[in-house]
Structure 1
Amino acid sequence: MDIQQLRYFVAVAEERHFGRAAERLHLTASPLSRRIRELERELGADLFVRGYHTVELTAVATEFLPAARDVLERFDALRAFGSLAADAVPTRRIGATPLAPPGALDLVLDTLAAVRPAVDADLTLEPSQQLFGRLAAGRLDLAVVHLPVDVPGLDSLPIGRYRFAVAMRADDEFAGRDSVDIGELTRRQVLMISGKVHPAAVGNLRRFLIDAGITRIVDLPHDDAVQVAAHITRYRSLSLVLGDPRQPGARVFDGPEYAVVPLRDPGPLFEVGVAWPAERALRDPVLAEVLAELRRATLQRF
Structure 2
Amino acid sequence: MELRQLRYFAAVADAGTFVRAAERLHIGQPAVSQQLARLERELGVRLFDRSTRHVRLTSAGERLLPEARAVLAAADRVRAVADDVAHETEAVLRLGSSHGLGDRLYRMLDELAVLAPGVSVRLTRARQEQRLAAVRAGDLDAAFVRVLESAPGLELVPIWREGLVVALPEQHPLAAADTVHVEQLGDLPVRLAPARNNPPFHAMITAALRDAGVDPPAGPPFTTLQDTLAEIGAAPPSWTVFYHRAELPVVRRVALRPLADLTLPISLAVLPGVPSPQLRMLLAACARVAAY
Instruction: State TM-score, norm by structure 2.
Output: 0.72
Q: Which amino acid aligns with 1:76?
A: A
Cα RMSD between the aligned structures? 3.5
Residues 156-175 of structure 1 show CA distances to partners (whole Å, capped at 9, x for unaligned) of 23333222232122332333
Residues 224-244 of structure 1 show CA distances to partners (whole Å, capped at 9, x for unaligned) of 213423542323111123342
Give the equivalent residue in structure 1 for 2:70. Answer: 73
Give the equivalent residue in structure 2 for 1:239. Answer: 240
Cα distance in 1 for residues equivalent to 2:266 and 2:113: 20
State which of 240, 263, 270 in structure 2 corresponds to 1:276: 270
Runs of 4+ more than 6 Å apart: 2-5, 39-42
Q: Taking structure 1 as reference, are residues 46 and 92 closer, same or farther at Cα in structure 2, changes over 3 Å only?
A: farther
Cα distance in 1 for residues equivalent to 2:160 and 2:181: 21
Give the equivalent residue in structure 2 for 1:27. Answer: none
Cα distance in 2 for residues equivalent to 1:82 and 1:136: 16
Cα distance in 2 for residues equivalent to 1:140 and 1:123: 9
Shift of 1:95: 0.7
Shift of 1:82: 3.4
Give the equivalent residue in structure 2 for 1:256. Answer: 252
Q: Highest Rg: 1 or 2?
A: 2
Cα distance in 2 for residues equivalent to 1:184 and 1:102: 28
SS of the residue aligned with 1:159? strand
2:287 maps to 1:288 = no
2:118 maps to 1:118 = yes
Q: Which amino acid aligns with 1:147?
A: V
Shift of 1:273: 2.6
- C-alpha contact (below 8 Å) 1:195/1:202 kept by paired residues: yes
Q: Which amino acid aligns with 1:266?
A: D
Cα distance in 1 for residues equivalent to 2:195 and 2:19: 32
- C-alpha contact (below 8 Å) 2:193/2:222 kept by paired residues: yes
Cα distance in 2 for residues equivalent to 1:94 and 1:152: 19
Shift of 1:67: 5.2
Cα distance in 2 for residues equivalent to 1:107 and 1:275: 19
2:37 maps to 1:45 = no
* Equivalent runs, 1:42-191 vs 2, <5 Å: 45=52, 60-66=57-63, 68-85=65-82, 86=85, 88-98=89-99, 100-191=100-191
Q: Which amino acid aligns with 1:82?
A: R
Aligned residues: 255
Cα distance in 1 for residues equivalent to 2:171 and 2:11: 53
